[in-house]
Amino acid sequence: GDLESGPDSSTLEKPGDVPKSDDAEAEAEGLKVNDIFVWKHVDYVIPYEGKQRQLLKSVSGYCIPGTLTALMGESGAGKTTLLNVLAQRIDFGVITGDMLVNGKPLDSSFSRRTGYVQQQDIHVEEVTVRESLQFAARLRRSNDVSDEEKLAYVEKIIEVLDMEGYADAVVGNLGSGLNVEQRKKLSIGVELVAKP
């Protein structure tokens, strides 16, 4: 595949590429390493000063979970706008084009099954890292999941992200609390405890 037509699972033939998943159980749990997320000819238009302003024009690409994907461009090129559109965090304007997982249109569960860490690390300054993660887990996971299970998963994420050394430190503000790397890890942890 290429950026014009976009790849699909049938075009992934190079070594290291991953075939399409037919595992319905894996689909239900979230995006897996053998899935592929493709977007083709995505446009995003907003009303602006009585006219239409096009923020994205025919943008195509793909990414595979578990791999590193770089989105590069100069300032103002639309990188953040594209990420917000792909993460379905836009509720203003008109979005057209195709966004597919394994060749199927995104459904209402896509946002729940994926995590998105924004560039700015915004956290409550007066609580600890552990408390921030516990709050996110309790807020974002289903009521069907016991509090005990949510808190156990928080501890697992603290370990996986190697945050044990500062899990009980107060977040604070930039310059008098967690450093930049620690704040970014906390942002990633907040998404992971939601178990996307």
Return the CATH class of domain 9-113: alpha beta
Helices of type H across the chain: 24-29, 79-86, 110-113, 129-140, 147-160, 180-192
Q: Are strands 37-48 and 94-101 parallel, antiparallel or unpaired?
A: antiparallel
> What percent of the chain is predicted at pLDDT more than 90?
39
Residue by residue, DSSP assigns 76-94 as TSSHHHHHHHHTT---SSE
The token pair that represents 89 in the structure block: 């965090």
Tell me the pLDDT of the chain averaged across its residues.
81
pLDDT, one tens digit per residue, over 87-135 is 888 888 999 999 998 888 988 778 777 777 666 677 888 999 999 999 9
**Helix, strand, coil percentages for the chain (3-state, nearest 5):** 30, 20, 50
Looking at the chain, the domain(s) classified CATH 3.40.50.300 span 9-113
- Give pLDDT, residue 32: 57
Output the pTM of the full model: 0.59
Taking the C-alpha atoms of residue 89 and residue 186, their distance in angstroms, rounded to an integer, is 21
